[in-house]
Chains A and B, each alone.
Chain A
């Protein structure tokens, strides 16, 4: 059983819908990440929260809005998405340690389809 839980596992939404992806980590970590995996493309980093502050935003369109209310929870709010946003969205967590971060632990992902 993974220490990082993502819900829902699958999501189908229209371009005018608003939905949210949820991630919860049970590992006591203090850094959380959103990644996007598109078909036949490398994994892309979207957002990084370290100690509940956003430290990375890799030029992600504003139709993706992250929220990190505490160190255990991470959300990705979605609105007015495009069909090309269909992908696997992965959440990960790690621990800030002296000299860097511990290895990432990934959730199982949310498979998003935009129609």
Chain B
């Protein structure tokens, strides 16, 4: 089955910094989603982005399906952005990356 790899595994930044999280796939993707697991355990959907670019406030995501990767950009980071970010592929079966743990220090 498809393999999903995320990088970096951990990222520590100061408030106000920008960050880029990456997700690589071993096969083509059709149902890619990005999630944020906040420090209280809730998993929040950020983007459904099988291809192209989407933006929502300080967050944006780009998926280049032909090159099998997706990027999540966070600009002007805030402490509330801390948590674990997952990329997930699939519909019949969901395949999760291992996550990127982001820590934003005040």
Contacts and interface: CB of A to CB of B under 8 A. Distances in A.
Interface of A: 31, 33, 35, 37, 39-43, 45, 48, 50, 56, 88, 90, 92, 94, 96, 99-101, 103-104, 106, 108-109, 111
B94 A100 contact: no
Contact of A31 (B31, B41, B48): B41
B13 interface: no
Given A43-B35, A100-B39, A103-B37, A108 B93 contact: yes
Interface stretch (B15-23, B51-59, B66-74, B84-92): B84-92
Contact of A111 (B48, B92, B96): B92
Contact of B38 (A92, A100, A108): A100
Nearest to B96: A106
